[in-house]
Structure 1
């Protein structure tokens, strides 16, 4: 089927929150991105997003020792058992509470999750098919506050759990006679990380105030003794021993000698050997993340100021002290060989992989840390350019999924981006009053177009020859025309009585269509002194306008949720689509309107024709993207771009239990400032400052594009608002592998991309022989 799209890849955001993990071979980084997981292949320079999603943002990811399985837990406590080999979900489980961390034992037989102030140990799923993959073995109590971290010994006999009550607890994974649990103090702040020494019970603990304690155990791991069973188990074992004693009398001699040896050995004890401090200069800098490589004794610590240290333990020798940014380092991971270190900064959406011996970057990626406003395909379909409210213009490779150049010349939000016909020049408009042209050969800004008086540009368009650049003004209601070669202003087109919302050039003729909030679409002839040839009257404000690839039809999206189709030659309306019911807008947490009126004011804000011109792709202030058949004016396909409940406007029904006489409980962030290390302002307050407010990012599609080539390996994408910019790509099914001509475009599928705030997604069709590059 031509429209059997499925998710393929996500671009634009490389890290959001949670913990980073290296694969067993150390060549790939597993990074949680919102409610999805992306695998970055550092050897082949490719990224791949797993085709699965959780209900909320991912909190933690646990990787099995063999690298075949992963446990993904979201903020709501829902867990997914995922096979990284076949990239599918094997089991669903709910932990009935917020889980902070999850860790497999080194032998892969068990895993521990920390939930609240307890630690629960489960039997890890095996390779054979099981009815219940997660079987609870034991619950460990001890900490008085929430648990924060886990670490196992090399032989999987014990594990340590850190807590916010400034203590670290050592538990036995088996019923040891000389070690049931052991509590370690010595810190004055929250425990951030704890690590066992290699082949030992010696322990390192790190607290948020930058203190490191070195603990020595008087018992080796081999000195742990199993506790004698009691009850019916003891009777069974005693009967078995009596049968063995009757057969072999020599075993009785050894049996009498062992109790005397066991009585000489006491309980396991710890003693503190040393205590070190990272903040020696006296400036307070919270320690936020840490990782320890046991083979090389390398300790990596990250701080809230963006600084990270490399120390050699147990001597605490400083190797490196560098700063990667001014934002908080949220997660650190070290690969198996100890050569590469991965850093994740949630504030900037930044992911870095650093080789500390050569002091060079293996990977350095950063997404838009603000809403992605627009995107455009290159003519060959190999690149995507995105513009964001953070003032940056980024160019992404659709096959590798990486950003290879970032332009930062704009001083305000970017409102529109587009490629020229050659594909080597990018033109962008911004609210700073400039339109800039960037060269992809030399990676520089070679043209800057300005208006006679300062104005804010809301959209941009370039004609098919690449010689005429136009931009629409939001405040002066005018359209400005420049020459690409000279950079001079050629003309100012006046006539609109409202802000210009969208511009589009006719692909065949030199005709410019401008849509405005004054309920008109004007057609300007570029070859005849830029005069107005036609004015199309609409019933509502025009939000988006686009030409069909052959230039014989024009589609306009209006504020009343309609898509109207026009014949630009005769200025006659040929059809219309009512999209209000297809939008199916979700309701925000703070909405007070009824479901009957929840769709009012919602409309499609971006349009795009398919390569064959038979379908139109539409998106707007909704979590759905619709594909309509132009001739039949029917809905062909509707996609739900995300199921992440951590975003706003996702719910179809409001929870009235949150409405109290004092206001909506959604206004109060229960966890404000606790994780980021904000100082609690009032004594006795345990949940942060109750005056702080938390607002979820709203999901909405800001831009979408079909692949201009119409080939099935590169479908399309859209941008949407959410946790940073997201680009979604969708791949369509097709059997033709050769060059795509105009005669074949209606027979093969194509891809489309969409921008959703700060990221990009792609889709793949079910069945069919085609797969994205790199699979």
Structure 2
């Protein structure tokens, strides 16, 4: 069992808060998800969460013009300089206050930050060799309230800054003789966006009262006069529009247009402007966004995505795609305004995620949450491809059928629903005779029996999947049913309850419980080992006990309370060490090989225990985000007052604020801000054994093995080196070279040796391979099929291995189950991808054939040849008749016809028709 699992991706949450950013090529969008950053590749339909984690939620991000550097700023003002090439943190800087906006200059030499009522301009990192990547260039003052937004001119010579004091100020980035600062007023609300037009000093300002203004400048960008060294020390008048001591005209602005973008009480919350296409996008508090063409303020589109406020909008480099984000629903979409279609439309669980389950082949993951939704995610791409909204209350359990075509979920609304993944519909609904809140769910190995436990009736209900009828009601527990699990070996159902017992049932005999295990405290979670020969039970006292399900004998136990770690919430009045007495595991899962068990609970840690040794093997920390409650062991003394912690004191809006009546929108006393508590609701191991997932407060975290960074040799000796292995391969001793490469266990070297073996030798090498290397070769082939281009070559290896060693592999199927499921998943995925390409090529060929038949080809002619008597034996024509032969058919048309008629399979395999 390997334990080198690393964080690989974040699913279940696509957006939390902050501003969206498109990459310079315009094909990807970067979204802040809590204290992490997720990159959605819109061209290849994939998502990736960067291995960068901050200590607070990210509120502002900015990308350099070349797309290599990124600055992410947290809620408390800590900035992290990150490299998108190496995906690492290069440096940090603390502003000690919230940052509303951060922008790189178009030339990439500087970046500006709006902080409190001033603007700080820094030199961009990497422009020159320096010890501190955050080198301050200049500070700009003048605003009377917090600065909210900024924008640079096209040549990076000046920038404009909007503020809550309803004014916009234009500053010169350098010392100019005719521009120091100019104030643009006239708005009656806080400035949300201020933008320069392309290659101009003209400014567009947008305020939160949905009013926009266009300001014309009397000076071009090329007319800005850069001050000399001698002129920088001269005194200067600060009245704009008048001449200074040297007689130079200062830059002046005049408002040329003013428009009301939208009428109504809804506030304008965000805005974005695309300079090259002159498009203005504005988002509002009611979930709608508008698209205007500037400078004429012509309305192009008016769309609504939800009923909640839009937090961020952005436009990609080409101006075709618009990114829109809503934080309350966790919604993120990319809209192509010209074709009026969605490029991406994703929404995570906007409430707690309670349960998850892998499909049998490991390709998909089903999740359920308190938002009454069941979502299915593609484990490879990270996108949600279907959402079921039939439930009316929180989801408490999800399960896949054995064939992976059906998802079953139970809910607190008193229903258990089965969803068809081919037609994406709810085809079966299971209910109880009287209303019951279902807390847990289980499916038998065949997928024919559905069981659900009641939270308030203390009974287990058994239905038939085929008929939907209630078969049996299993009674015997004296407390709420907390967990159910079916054995994969026999028709055996285990149920755990708060009455401190675990019962074993035979649902087919219907003769009551066969065995009863009595425990010391309430049962919270249980699970069978993959082979069904062992049962793991988690109880309220923080212990994990292991039992033999056939003779009801306990085989071992693990004390895991202190492994969860010490943590204290802001509202707790006792120490973290005392609180550890109430820690426990509420979710369990065996690894794919059954040697270890995965456990999680009300903590930031996930623990892996060895079942045989009954010790902790590794602990994973799911987050270091201090925005969650229960992350620290000791409370901050600076937040303690004589009345207690500041977390217990409601934040007032200011002195003299009167409490409003209930139901009033402004100053509603029912609204409270709270910190979500860090917890692990569910953990599941992938059937392939390569990864595991955890449903947490942050979202669905996926941890996988990174083989490229792990050196794990097998029976290594001094003379087993890459040089000797390549020498053996050069001498055409392929069998020895293959076994030596597996002993060194370097993936690139194994691939090099395997792909240099001739096809004619595959059969002989497969027959003479020892059992140890058969397992390793099968595992390597299963993982390589996912990414290789030599599909036919690898399938030949698999065919020979399974044909020759099939009986031996069948005897060890339990040990090889993870490898076989990986093989099934990757072969199925390749089959789906190649079938799509073949269908596309087939339709293209048919279209080309029809087109070639209907189009008149220039120079086409027919000629008649008289068939002589001597050629009758070889002629295609009949005796005594003339044959009409069309010799104008080109070679390309012949190839196309042969391919369509199936006469040349080799041509179809080797032709390069279309690869999307």
Moved more, 649-658 or 300-309: 649-658
The equivalent of 1:218 in structure 2 is 218
Once residues 285 and 689 of structure 1 are traced to their aligned partners in structure 2, the CA distance between those partners, rounded to angstroms, is 17
What secondary structure does 1:737 align onto?
helix
Once residues 745 and 486 of structure 1 are traced to their aligned partners in structure 2, the CA distance between those partners, rounded to angstroms, is 31
Once residues 604 and 453 of structure 1 are traced to their aligned partners in structure 2, the CA distance between those partners, rounded to angstroms, is 32
Q: Which of 470, 491, 500 is matched with 1:489 structurally? A: 470
Matched, 1:707 2:686: yes
The equivalent of 2:342 in structure 1 is 361
Paired residues in the alignment total 711
Once residues 608 and 527 of structure 2 are traced to their aligned partners in structure 1, the CA distance between those partners, rounded to angstroms, is 15
| CA drift at 1:222 | 1.2
**Residue segments in structure 2 that go unaligned for 5+ positions in a row:** 235-242, 711-746, 748-778, 784-812, 823-916
The equivalent of 1:168 in structure 2 is 168
The equivalent of 2:177 in structure 1 is 177
What secondary structure does 2:580 align onto?
coil
Q: Which of 275, 300, 311 is matched with 1:330 structurally? A: 311
Once residues 373 and 577 of structure 2 are traced to their aligned partners in structure 1, the CA distance between those partners, rounded to angstroms, is 39
| CA drift at 1:672 | 7.7
Does the CA-based 8 Å contact 1:585-1:621 persist in structure 2? no
The equivalent of 1:737 in structure 2 is 780
The equivalent of 2:447 in structure 1 is 466
| CA drift at 1:122 | 0.2
The equivalent of 1:133 in structure 2 is 133
Once residues 187 and 506 of structure 2 are traced to their aligned partners in structure 1, the CA distance between those partners, rounded to angstroms, is 75
Once residues 198 and 3 of structure 2 are traced to their aligned partners in structure 1, the CA distance between those partners, rounded to angstroms, is 54
Equivalence map 1:203-352=2 (5 Å): 203-230=203-230, 265-280=248-263, 283-352=264-333
Once residues 525 and 27 of structure 1 are traced to their aligned partners in structure 2, the CA distance between those partners, rounded to angstroms, is 55
Matched, 1:146 2:122: no
The equivalent of 1:753 in structure 2 is none
Once residues 649 and 340 of structure 2 are traced to their aligned partners in structure 1, the CA distance between those partners, rounded to angstroms, is 44
| CA drift at 1:307 | 1.1
What secondary structure does 1:40 align onto?
strand
Change (3 A) 1:347 1:550: same
Does the CA-based 8 Å contact 1:311-1:320 persist in structure 2? yes
Does the CA-based 8 Å contact 1:716-1:731 persist in structure 2? no
Equivalence map 1:72-111=2 (5 Å): 72-111=72-111
Change (3 A) 1:173 1:128: closer
| CA drift at 1:397 | 0.1
| CA drift at 1:100 | 1.5
The equivalent of 1:477 in structure 2 is 458
Does the CA-based 8 Å contact 1:206-1:213 persist in structure 2? yes
Once residues 481 and 41 of structure 2 are traced to their aligned partners in structure 1, the CA distance between those partners, rounded to angstroms, is 43
Q: Which of 377, 381, 390 is matched with 2:371 structurally? A: 390
Once residues 590 and 642 of structure 1 are traced to their aligned partners in structure 2, the CA distance between those partners, rounded to angstroms, is 20
TM-score (norm 1): 0.88
**Residue segments in structure 1 that go unaligned for 5+ positions in a row:** 235-259, 751-775
Once residues 428 and 377 of structure 2 are traced to their aligned partners in structure 1, the CA distance between those partners, rounded to angstroms, is 22
Q: Highest CA radius of gyration, 1 or 2?
A: 2
What secondary structure does 2:204 align onto?
strand
Once residues 207 and 67 of structure 1 are traced to their aligned partners in structure 2, the CA distance between those partners, rounded to angstroms, is 30
Q: Which of 602, 624, 632 is matched with 2:605 structurally? A: 624
The equivalent of 1:63 in structure 2 is 63
Does the CA-based 8 Å contact 1:10-1:729 persist in structure 2? no
Change (3 A) 1:430 1:18: same
Does the CA-based 8 Å contact 1:667-1:694 persist in structure 2? no
Bigger helix share: 2
Does the CA-based 8 Å contact 1:672-1:689 persist in structure 2? no
What secondary structure does 2:581 align onto?
coil
The equivalent of 2:420 in structure 1 is 439
The equivalent of 1:762 in structure 2 is none
Once residues 208 and 522 of structure 1 are traced to their aligned partners in structure 2, the CA distance between those partners, rounded to angstroms, is 62
TM-score (norm 2): 0.75
Change (3 A) 1:671 1:43: farther
The equivalent of 1:764 in structure 2 is none
Once residues 119 and 689 of structure 1 are traced to their aligned partners in structure 2, the CA distance between those partners, rounded to angstroms, is 34
What secondary structure does 1:44 align onto?
coil
Bigger strand share: 1
The equivalent of 1:727 in structure 2 is 701
Instruction: Between the two structures, name the one with larger relative contact order (CA 8 Å, sep ≥ 6).
Output: 1
Does the CA-based 8 Å contact 1:118-1:147 persist in structure 2? yes
What secondary structure does 1:666 align onto?
helix
Once residues 356 and 818 of structure 2 are traced to their aligned partners in structure 1, the CA distance between those partners, rounded to angstroms, is 24
Change (3 A) 1:25 1:746: closer
Once residues 690 and 266 of structure 1 are traced to their aligned partners in structure 2, the CA distance between those partners, rounded to angstroms, is 55
Does the CA-based 8 Å contact 1:668-1:690 persist in structure 2? no
